[in-house]
Structure 1
Amino acid sequence: MEEFQNRALGCLGGLAKHIVFAAAVLLLLLSASSAEELEREEAARYIEPPYQLGDLLEGGIYELINLDGRVSGYAFETEPLAPLPGFSGAPINLFVILTLEGRLIDVDIVSHNEPIFVSGLGEAPFQEFISQYKGYSITDSLVIGVPYGDQSSGSSLVYLDGVTKATASVRIAHETLLAAALKVAREKMQGIGGRAAAKPDLEHAEPLTWEQIVEEGIAGRRVVTNREVDDAFADSIWADDDPVAKDEPDEIYLDLWVVDLGPPAIAEAILEPDSLSQLRNFQELSPDDEPILVIDAGRHGLVTEDFVRNTSPNLITASQDGLPISLRDADLDVELRDGIPGEFAMVLRTDRRLGFNPIDEWSLSVRAVREHGSFRPEIGTVDFTVAHKTDERFFIKDEPPAPVPVWRQAMDARSGDLVVLAGGLAALVPLLLLGQSRLAGFRQYTLVRLAILAGVIGFVGWWGQGQLSIATVLGVVRSLFEGQSLAFLLYDPFSLLIWGVVLLTFVIWGRGFFCGWMCPFGAMQEFMHYLGRLLRLPQIQVPDRIDFWLVKLKYVILAGLLALAILAPTYLDTAIEVEPFKTAITTFFVREWYFVLYCVGLLLLSMVVFKGFCRYICPLGAVMAIGGFLRLRDWIPRRDVCGSPCQLCRVKCNYNAIKPTGGIKYDECFQCLDCVTIHDDDNQCVPLILAKRGRQL
């Protein structure tokens, strides 16, 4: 009978793996043709009077015709112009209607496959987010988030409200819209883009002095006196709100210097060695970003007191050819060489892939802000602008910019969380790798493990939204086959860090590290198990014969998800709800009753069947089980007498991951270390107990 079961197990396991592989191949073959452009009739539905669709131009861009028959703008889908992959691997496709002046008439969602909106938060929050763009211009400095400090401080930025729990998805949508709209603006509306873009020539060496830089115009300058500021606010309610300007009219208010630090020869002439080293590290990590040095030798100061490093400066904007240049603090310590003027200096960064061309003239504006009144003061602003360009000899013009920008703000926004997560992983992985037996032998090991799992639920799950999902796996597979970038993973750096460590630990432990230690929903089930024991509920031990079949169910579910992706992709996102992760982790159980009932039912099941979802249902667990075959070592210690005759570890294993022979089924092992505790304890391990008594098995 046992031989029959072993053969059946091998056949069924092999069959399940072949099914999964075949389904994956079919999914890849069919997914390449999934994206299609809208037909003209479908596109016309997004147009409202007094406009109508005109001729279809190259690139899938329609002319927008007004009632008088003249071209008033353009209408287009974003996917052909900026196919930035979302978390499912498919781009977010928006339909954008733009005036000739660059104002957004309307933005609609054509299609997307973002899991958080499809079957998590619902479509309403996404629609509400997209509706915010209507009426704004692409020349506005649009950013996602909330302003720091006083919202009425005269900031030059336009803030759009994001969506809680879906930050990465709305960021992808934001970058998609801006990249596509700016591309249309440059090609169709402004006639821009004929000149080759440029990047710094890192091999160009040239000794320069500050005097040469000023004389050649490599450094742009704008001087504004107090009198000029007063004149700008003359005949307004803010005319007398700067007493310093009144008392010292000929003194300097703003002494603005602008220098492109991308070329090494320029940077070496301006920065001290420590700052220069920081800049070079920055350029290695962000090769597509252009560093811009901004200096104020006056009393303006460039930013407000509320400014936060590594964010967009709220009093500085830039533009080129009438279109905005996105600026962000590069978070570098700036120390200038002797003889260079300036009371305040900062390095800003802008992405050349969004269209910035350093050898073409561009302008930088600094905003002067005045307040009138003490209670809810009225804000007045005036912008002072300096035009600048850098000589072409410092740049290489042959390579065009990358068509799809990679958005980095997600890393910056979650830097604190990433530090904490990285620290926790850096402690946990070596602890399990080097101190496994010591940890398992600790008298209060169970309490230590539960404390770690509580942190995983609270910080990794609810706070960090780092619950890994099968949706990401399917998205990566699709992107790889279609030749798409995997940059969409960068929009959730928190989960990406977990994925990276999990893949690394595959070669050490197999699936155990994630499934046993880093899965928030798995941790929830373990707590429910202990609650069941505390309530003295009967614990159901699944018989080996039934367990033999049930452990294969997760492979069948995985194959079913792949089959749905091929035969009925519109139902795939609903089917992925076999994972209760959105309900338990993403939405805190605030969902439709049937999702909550399913999730709560699985947790209640764990009170009597130890982690039943993880062992029998989880499709991600089916993928993770591959790690059991990829590991490079058998990390659980065994003795010759394990399994024959001693069966204690096997009987105590809640996962049923130990064979009757004593061997470990690593594809089902969750690294709970209970068997390690028994193996090393001479009060529990039968061979050790007998050895103490001078006997042997």
Structure 2
Amino acid sequence: MPPPIRRLFALLLLLLCACAQAGELTLDALQRRFQPPLHVQPQLDDLPVWPITSELEPEAGPVGYVFESIDLAPIPGFEGTPMNLLVAIDRKGGFIDVEVLRQHEPVFLSGLGEAPLREFVQQYAGKSLKQEITVSSAYGNTRAGGSETRVVLDGVTKATASVRIVNQTVLAAGLAVARAKLGFADPGARGPTARARADLYERLDFATLLKRGLIGHLRVTHAQAEKLFAGTDGEGADEGALAEPGGTLVDLYVGYLNAPTVGRAVLGDARYGDLMKKLEDGQHALWLATAGRVALIDDQFVPGTPPPALSLTQSGLPVEMRDLVFEHPAPDGAPAFNASGVFRVYAQAGLDPARPMQFTLTLTRAKGMMLPRITHQTVTLDYRPEAALFVYPPEPPPEWLVAWAGRWPDLLAIGLALTLLSAVLARPDWVARDARRLALFRNVFLAFTLVFIGWYAQGQLSIVQITGAIKTLTAGQNLASFLYDPVSLLIIAFTVVSFFVWGRGTFCGWLCPFGALQEFVALAAQKLRVPQMRLPRGVARVLDRGRYALLAALVLSAALAPRLAESMVEVEPFKTAITVGFDRSWPYVAWAVGLLATGAFSYKFFCRFLCPLGAAMTLGGKLRRLDWLTRRAECGQPCQTCRHRCQYDAIERSGAIRYDDCFQCLDCVGIHADPQRCAPVLLYMKKGRTVAPFPVPVRAADARP
């Protein structure tokens, strides 16, 4: 391809990706959604969000924010394209509303329809970003729910992976805004915060607490303060400091009360117990006290507010602390304080009490009588309690791992089935030698594939997974969305491994639910003596090439025209017949039923001639390293028994197996292994001759003549 054309192609690709990940609403459209007294303001310059103000609180500033998820969290969906949700949160991090703007999930486009998805997102209203929000499913939920700090949303049957991605999208976008505009800390940057050990207690006096650093202490003398103000308008403005340079300006004390060793020593056992009852899960209590000429709080202090001259930071980020209005006695052995209080830090602030905390006290001096010039200087107390006082809880698992935990019974059942299938394919002679035994095993396994893997566990692999992966990678995203569908991922992994050992037929012949359904339809048709039609070899070859053309068209459309790909994948009836169990509008049902009906006359017609996923599987089967279907020297020369009985037309006149067309039904293996059905063995027996007890494999010719 010439360089100019390549550059034009790359530019077109970038434009398509940009269009797929851009917000779509205007200010006018948003204002129509939020009626007075609420008003949507113009979008901010530093963040793609629209502030919401209220006529009832004209001086309060924004009472909430509204934004499109695709601007903040363009997480690829199951189909590969990020969905776009309109999310509105209030100034405390509560959800006002969540609305679906645009989505490309196959199960919601024309399968279940968008109604279940819209009902799902309505559950966010009234919930909060301060809560742990997870999604249940029809396969069980491993997380407790129904508390103030943990919420479990009702999932959508047959769309478990998609709604988990919706949840991740809502939370990721909401937290991005909450951290930027609402002061939420980002605990995920360093994992879960430490918790005080309730079982660890030492009875220590106040002096020992100070010596070991369990209570932080900062002393500022007059001389030190004068040095801080040197060269400013505040220099020399404090006559008391000049008169007594060695005297104390302020003694600042800090203690972390959640730790029993500190809390019980400062408050006493009874008041400590009262405090622990008052604190909610994840909240922290700090004891602050001052002595000397500067007080922590004064007569103008408003209870329930932060201390006016003292601030707390951690890792460079501000942490708000508020007066708890908690009366308490002075600690035994402590000096006389001019002020003392208990202050609360809320859970969403993200404070980690086991990490260093910085308490900054602002010192103020005024110079002049009429229009005094005010000067501020700060001093900082670094405080870090002993690490032994804390324990770090295990980091909560990612949402995709929760999905795996919730599906472990299904994964175990499917894993055992795959193990059994592997054992049978590794040594197929015993099962296949008896035709009735093979039919029983195959029909039972295919019934498991159809009912359990397909209709129940929703493990039908689809061409959508290939086109979705292409869209995701084209958009510069990773394939993490595949982790939300553990059953499909397990089957994908097994199928990829099987390519190297047995070829494409392991999936197409044993693990495809729609393929199993087609086989049962064909068996029923044969029982009912429905006339069977074998296509001429030339026609079959032309039709076979058609599935590769479909695959190529789908791959190109996924990369260059994603909207077109969404329609083209409907050539595959898997979603209609398996994912939603024919619960769909009539054109899709008619197409699926029509293909099944065609398979009643022409054995597995769709699988052999139209399936684009089957074409991809065939290409994957090129990785096969073994010719594991054994043959005799007499196979095809002259014996044609297996070729005539193979309903897939996968055996050449020469007797060689065309692995590209083989669905591994094992019929030819059974004939080969059964001396009562293998024609060469029967012939030799009639002539009184014997054949070698072990088959002689010949190299299979995969390429057609």
Smaller-chain TM-score bracket = 0.5 to 0.7
Q: With structure 1 as the length reference, what TM-score do the two structures score? A: 0.67
> Secondary structure at the residue paired with 2:98?
strand
Instruction: Give a deviation string over 1:347-396, Cα, whole Å, max 9, x none.
Output: xxxxxxxx79675699xxxxxxxxxxxxxxxxxxxxxxxxx99867999x
2:116 corresponds to which residue? 125
Q: What is the distance in 1 between the residues matched to 2:543 and 2:564?
A: 25
2:428 corresponds to which residue? 436
- Check the 8 A contact 1:502/1:513 in 2, yes or no: yes
Of 28, 33, 40, the residue aligned with 1:52 is 40
Unaligned runs of 5+ in 1: 1-23, 202-208, 233-251, 260-318, 325-354, 363-387, 396-400
Q: What is the deviation of 1:141?
A: 4.0
- Check the 8 A contact 1:94/1:110 in 2, yes or no: yes
Instruction: Give a deviation string over 1:541-597, Cα, whole Å, max 9, x none.
Output: 111111111111111111222344356532322321211111111112111112112
- Check the 8 A contact 2:21/2:71 in 1, yes or no: no
2:129 corresponds to which residue? 138
Q: What is the deviation of 1:172?
A: 0.9
Of 95, 102, 115, the residue aligned with 2:93 is 102
Residue 510 of structure 2 is aligned to residue 517 of structure 1: yes
Q: What is the distance in 2 between the residues matched to 1:653 and 1:27?
A: 48
- Check the 8 A contact 1:320/1:361 in 2, yes or no: no
> Structure 1 residues 667, 53: closer, same or farther in 2, change over 3 A?
farther
> Secondary structure at the residue paired with 1:667?
coil
Q: What is the distance in 2 between the residues matched to 1:547 and 1:172?
A: 42
Q: Which moved more, 1:157-166 or 1:506-515?
A: 157-166
> Secondary structure at the residue paired with 2:644?
helix
Q: What is the deviation of 1:615?
A: 0.2
Q: How does 1:178-577 map to 2 (within 5 A)?
A: 178-190=171-183, 192-193=185-186, 197-198=189-190, 220-221=259-260, 321-323=346-348, 359=354, 407-433=400-426, 435-443=427-435, 444-565=437-558, 568-577=561-570
Q: What is the distance in 2 between the residues matched to 1:58 and 1:104?
A: 22
> Structure 1 residues 356, 166: closer, same or farther in 2, change over 3 A?
farther
> Structure 1 residues 110, 199: closer, same or farther in 2, change over 3 A?
same
Instruction: Give a deviation string over 1:51-94, Cα, whole Å, max 9, x none.
Output: 21324232423333444483222222222322322111222221
> Structure 1 residues 254, 88: closer, same or farther in 2, change over 3 A?
same
Q: What is the distance in 2 between the residues matched to 1:504 and 1:605?
A: 32
Q: What is the distance in 2 between the residues matched to 1:626 and 1:119?
A: 29
> Secondary structure at the residue paired with 1:607?
helix
Q: What is the distance in 1 between the residues matched to 2:188 and 2:414?
A: 42
> Structure 1 residues 231, 196: closer, same or farther in 2, change over 3 A?
closer
Q: What is the deviation of 1:30?
A: 7.2
Q: Which amino acid aligns with 1:686?
A: A
Of 587, 591, 605, the residue aligned with 1:598 is 591
Unaligned runs of 5+ in 2: 1-8, 194-198, 215-255, 284-343, 358-382, 692-705
Greater RCO between the two (CA within 8 Å, min separation 6)?
1
- Check the 8 A contact 1:505/1:513 in 2, yes or no: yes
- Check the 8 A contact 2:636/2:654 in 1, yes or no: yes
Q: What is the deviation of 1:200?
A: 9.4
> Structure 1 residues 154, 673: closer, same or farther in 2, change over 3 A?
closer
Q: What is the distance in 2 between the residues matched to 1:182 and 1:432?
A: 50
> Structure 1 residues 538, 356: closer, same or farther in 2, change over 3 A?
farther
Larger Rg: 2
1:173 corresponds to which residue? 166
Q: What is the distance in 2 between the residues matched to 1:601 and 1:51?
A: 54
Q: How does 1:634-645 map to 2 (within 5 A)?
A: 634-645=627-638
1:612 corresponds to which residue? 605
Q: What is the deviation of 1:651?
A: 1.3
Q: What is the distance in 1 between the residues matched to 2:598 and 2:202?
A: 76
1:63 corresponds to which residue? 51
2:234 corresponds to which residue? none
- Check the 8 A contact 2:504/2:617 in 1, yes or no: yes
> Secondary structure at the residue paired with 1:471?
helix
> Structure 1 residues 454, 656: closer, same or farther in 2, change over 3 A?
same
- Check the 8 A contact 2:281/2:347 in 1, yes or no: no
Residue 29 of structure 2 is aligned to residue 41 of structure 1: no
- Check the 8 A contact 1:175/1:407 in 2, yes or no: no
Q: What is the deviation of 1:451?
A: 0.8
> Secondary structure at the residue paired with 2:625?
coil
Instruction: Give a deviation string over 1:261-313, Cα, whole Å, max 9, x none.
Output: xxxxxxxxxxxxxxxxxxxxxxxxxxxxxxxxxxxxxxxxxxxxxxxxxxxxx
1:373 corresponds to which residue? none
Q: What is the distance in 2 between the residues matched to 1:548 and 1:178?
A: 51
- Check the 8 A contact 2:69/2:170 in 1, yes or no: yes
2:63 corresponds to which residue? 72
> Secondary structure at the residue paired with 2:409?
helix
